[in-house]
Structure 1
Amino acid sequence: MSNEILKITQHREFPVPSTPWIMKQTWNDLLFAHWPVRVKDIRDVIPSSLKIDEYDGFAWIGVVPFHMSNIRIRFLPTLPFTSNFPEINVRTYVKYKGKAGVYFFSLDAMNHLAVFMSRKLFALNYFYANIKHTSRSDNNYYESKRKGKDKVLAGFTGSYKPTSKPYRSIRDSFDYWLTERYCLFCNDKNYLYRGDIHHLPWELQHAEAEIVENSMTSPIGINLSSDKPILHFSKKMDALLWKLTKVGDFIYSQHKTPTLN
């Protein structure tokens, strides 16, 4: 399957890395919920060397609940208790030297080992959360609670389902701009890193959702609860991930974002 994925690359805006991938994952039952925000409202919580990518004059924040499966390191089998769990991430879109990618404010998962390994391997803002995800046919119910010592720090509760047949986005469309991104950026010890990703083009569906609670952006001082999001659904995606590469020299940025311990 991995070799088949690597044969299809014409949808990418830059080449697949020449080095071997290090991890494979499958993402299931994804909801892409996106809200427009003013660039100045998130400028201070993103490394200063990254340009915030805009569409229609706005930055966009995505809250993406889904379910991970088939996680494995290259040349190793999937490991019991660490290869299948729910996750929810909060992201926005950035560019570095013209290359478009994703910047994650946070990633919550219900697996202690996966949180630990993702912090070590990818320097990402992973947190442990109590998450319930159930799926019956295409109806999904999702509840996530990230807890601190004495209170819930971030949470999401809602249900969602697709409302159209699957389709692939057209290049330069808004759907394409939101989803067809093949690298992530992160900062570790004040250096900027890029992590390359490869998968087939997204098969998207229009979606509807009932969001009861959404405090996932509270830690960065953004309130999305009163606004209606743009919604997409995708049933399944197999993805390959590469080792982080340092792309930026020492950077300085004061973050309100929760940082790695």
Structure 2
Amino acid sequence: MLRHSQHRPFPLPGGFWVMKQVWNDLLFLHWPADEAELLPYVPKGVELEYYEGRPWVSMSPFILSPLMLRGTPPLPFAGRFLELNLRTYVSRNGVPGICFLTLEASSRLAVAGARMFAHLPYQYALMKAVRQEDGFHYNSERRRFGREAAFSALYDPADDAVFHAEPGSLVHWLTERYCLYAADRKGNLYRGHIHHLPWPLQSARVRLETNTLAQSYGLYLSAEPAVTTYTTRLDVLLWAVQRV
């Protein structure tokens, strides 16, 4: 993976990666969003990014398996779990990245570790994913300050064709991101670099059954996403987050 970096918008970071994750059966759902609703979640020191004048948010349910620290086998009790992200798009000094509003996960250990060491807004949720003949059934449910933050969908790839997003396209702008930004409780800003090969994307067939996750954060999105894709598997390397 490290030999192939020409697709990145900026060079590989220095030092060694510390963790490898594999994301399986990942659904990408993307919506244009309202700037005023998003700005409260953008940390100081980064700027909200826009595509053709609109900010965007994305949700991505997937199975994380395995999770391994460098030089170790998969972690016991946290080597496999479900995850559901809600994110938006930001940059700092011209370096594009992502900012998470929440990362729902089915592993309490993974939630505690990510909150402590990466300053990411992970939260534990009751989650279930089952593959059946009619597709992939994915469910997540949590209550936040008395509000339901639930997600339920049936999805699968629409066909077998795999493609890479065209540079300059909306899908490329949404998917090909190689760092994340997060702030701790004191407002200190951190950046974490990641690396993977270009996203192997497929057209997706999706039926959203419940989706109150964004609404629980004060985001009011259209009932149906503007863009959807599916990825069978993506191998990802992560570097330790550093204060910037």
Query: Same fold judged by TM-score > 0.5?
Result: yes
Separation in 2, partners of 1:65, 1:37: 19
- How many residue pairs get aligned? The number is 242
Structure 1 segments of 4+ aligned residues over 3 angstroms from their partners: none
Aligned to 1:106: 102
Separation in 2, partners of 1:236, 1:22: 20
Separation in 2, partners of 1:40, 1:146: 25
Separation in 1, partners of 2:144, 2:53: 35
Aligned to 2:156: 161
Could you tell me whether the CA contact under 8 Å between 1:215 and 1:225 is conserved in 2?
Answer: no
The reply to whether residue 6 of structure 1 matches residue 13 of structure 2 is: no
Shift of 1:121: 1.6
Q: Counterparts in 2 of 1:154-233, with a 5 A limit?
A: 154-164=149-159, 165-188=161-184, 189-224=186-221, 226-233=223-230
Aligned to 1:243, the other structure's residue is in SS state coil
Larger CA deviation: 67-76 vs 97-106: 67-76
Larger CA deviation: 168-177 vs 96-105: 168-177
Separation in 2, partners of 1:200, 1:171: 14
Q: Could you list the per-position Cα deviations for residues 209-245 of structure 1 after superposition, in whole angstroms to 9, with x for gaps in the alignment?
A: 1101111112321122534431111110000000111
Could you tell me whether the CA contact under 8 Å between 1:166 and 1:203 is conserved in 2?
Answer: yes
Q: Could you list the per-position Cα deviations for residues 31-66 of structure 1 after superposition, in whole angstroms to 9, with x for gaps in the alignment?
A: 100110122321122123211111121111101100
TM-score normalised to structure 1 length: 0.88
Shift of 1:175: 1.2
The reply to whether residue 116 of structure 1 matches residue 112 of structure 2 is: yes
Aligned to 1:56: 52
Q: How big is the alpha-carbon RMSD for the aligned residues of Structure 1 and Structure 2? A: 1.6
The reply to whether residue 129 of structure 1 matches residue 115 of structure 2 is: no
Q: Could you list the per-position Cα deviations for residues 52-82 of structure 1 after superposition, in whole angstroms to 9, with x for gaps in the alignment?
A: 1111211111011000001011122112221
Aligned to 1:6, the other structure's residue is in SS state coil
| Percentage of pairs with the same residue | 39
The amino acid across from 2:232 in the alignment is K
Aligned to 1:74: 70
- Closer, same or farther: CA 147–44 of 1 in aligned 2, 3 Å: closer
Separation in 2, partners of 1:198, 1:24: 10
Separation in 1, partners of 2:101, 2:157: 26
Could you tell me whether the CA contact under 8 Å between 1:157 and 1:214 is conserved in 2?
Answer: yes
Separation in 2, partners of 1:40, 1:18: 36
